[in-house]
Amino acid sequence: MLAKRIIPCLDVDNGRVKKGVNFINLVDVGDPVAIAAEYERQGADELVFLDITTTNERRATMADVVEKVSQQVFMPLTVGGGIHSVAAMEKLLQAGADKIAINSAAVANPTLIRQGAAKFGSQAIVVAIDVSFDPASQQYRVFTHGGQQATALSAIDWAQRVVQLGAGELLVTSMDKDGTKSGFDLHLYQQLGQAVDVPIIASGGAGTITDFTQLYQQTNVTGALAASIFHFKELTINNVKQALANKGVPVRL
């Protein structure tokens, strides 16, 4: 069985790491290069960078950040945020990213998934999906533009479509759980795990070691992403991995 991954996430705004709750109220956390180096020391399996601004000048800043981090750490790097073209993907891959995450651009132009997979391979294309549960329809709905714009897309249907288009991995964030530290949305990831056969990274809600344990015992996701609990040193990656190993969850120690 493949080892389950623990993946810190760095939300980058103009070259600095920020973190909020439910996608708002951002606070400055620190320098991305220093934070990345510390997470590698702790044993992170991968690192996700999400550029939470989308202007062209900040896109250049993000490439600079990726290049600096890739020179300091050796774990796989996934980079996303405001990537609208194959050329933009290529620039970030050349800067040192291993995988590219696309979200709003994929919804607006689904062929971008196929184009990226054709040029760089499916393993390099991650489709990020921000979802919120809609009580009226009893379905998970897809949101874009940093969680600001609702779509009519069912998250489960969209996940299946992007995999058909060539996505090699999904990064699925529960907006309802984001930053709340109230546990992962297990029902969401159970549904996704039954719908697609590519690796899934779960994001949103990590607060305790038990949350990680329940996620891996009750769903078949392959990665758990967290930010606040690691940024603010409530838990270390090694704490989480040791606890998972003690529960029989395969992890890389």
Residues identified as active-site: 11, 130
Name every residue whose Cβ is closer than 8 Å to that of residue 198 and which is 6 or more positions away in sequence: 163, 167, 168, 169, 170
The token pair that represents 130 in the structure block: 């921000």
CA 35 to each of CA 27, 32, 49, 60, 65: distance values in angstroms, whole numbers, following the listed order: 15, 5, 11, 20, 12
Name every residue whose Cβ is closer than 8 Å to that of residue 212 and which is 6 or more positions away in sequence: 6, 206, 224, 240, 243, 244
CA 25 to each of CA 20, 70, 92, 225: distance values in angstroms, whole numbers, following the listed order: 5, 29, 28, 20
**Element holding 223 (H helix, E strand):** strand 223-226
